[in-house]
Amino acid sequence: MIIDWLKQNNCNELHIQYDAGSCCTFVIALNTIYHNRGNGGTRMKSYSSADEGIKDAIKLANAMTKKCVVIGDEDNGGYSGAKGVIIGDPVIQKTREMFRSYGRFVQSLNGRFQTGCDMNIYPDDLEYMAEQTQYVDGLSSTRLGDGGAATAYGVIVAMKTICQQKYGTNSLKDKIIAVQGVGSVGSDLVRRLFEEGAEVIVTDVNSDRLKYVMDKYNARVVSPEEIYTVKCDIFSPNACGDVLTAENIGKLNCYLVIGAANNPLANGLQSIKQMQERGIVFAPDYVVNIGAQVLAICEVIGKSFDYANNKIQEIIQKRLRQISLEGETMYEAAERIVHQEMLRT
Which residues form the domain of 274?
147-290+319-339
* Tally of CB atoms within 10 A around 168: 8
Q: Is residue 311 part of a domain?
A: no
The dihedral built from the CA positions of residue 204, 41, 332 and 175, taken in this order, carries a sign that is positive
Q: How many domains does the chain have?
A: 2
The answer to whether residues 230 and 274 belong to one domain is yes
pLDDT in tens, 205-254: 999 999 999 999 999 999 999 999 999 999 999 999 999 999 999 999 99
pLDDT in tens, 288-331: 999 999 999 999 999 999 999 999 999 999 999 999 977 799 99
Which pLDDT score, from 0 to 100, does residue 134 have?
A: 96
Query: Are 332 and 272 within 8 A, CB to CB?
Result: yes
pLDDT in tens, 109-140: 999 999 999 999 999 999 999 999 999 999 98
The answer to whether residues 184 and 323 belong to one domain is yes
Which pLDDT score, from 0 to 100, does residue 344 have?
A: 82
Question: Which pairing describes strands 176-180 and 199-203: parallel, antiparallel, or unpaired?
Answer: parallel
Catalytic residues: 83
Query: Are 180 and 239 within 8 A, CB to CB?
Result: yes
CATH number for position 330 = 3.40.50.720
Query: Are 66 and 77 within 8 A, CB to CB?
Result: no
pLDDT class of 142 with cuts at 50, 70, 90: confident
For the cut 90, the answer to whether the pLDDT of residue 196 exceeds it is yes
CA distance 216 to 225: 23
Q: Is residue 38 part of a domain?
A: yes
Which pLDDT score, from 0 to 100, does residue 1 have?
A: 82
Which pLDDT score, from 0 to 100, does residue 141 have?
A: 82
For the cut 80, the answer to whether the pLDDT of residue 10 exceeds it is yes
For the cut 80, the answer to whether the pLDDT of residue 38 exceeds it is yes
For the cut 80, the answer to whether the pLDDT of residue 263 exceeds it is yes
Cα dist. 335→82, 321, 332 in Å? Answer: 18, 15, 5
Cα dist. 328→38, 333, 335 in Å? Answer: 30, 6, 11
Q: Is residue 71 part of a domain?
A: no
Which pLDDT score, from 0 to 100, does residue 140 have?
A: 83
Q: Is residue 261 part of a domain?
A: yes
* Tally of CB atoms within 10 A around 116: 26
Q: What is the maximum alpha-carbon separation in the chain?
A: 58
Which pLDDT score, from 0 to 100, does residue 191 have?
A: 98
The answer to whether residues 171 and 236 belong to one domain is yes
CA distance 265 to 136: 30
Residue 131: alpha-carbon gap to chain centroid: 26
The answer to whether residues 119 and 163 belong to one domain is no
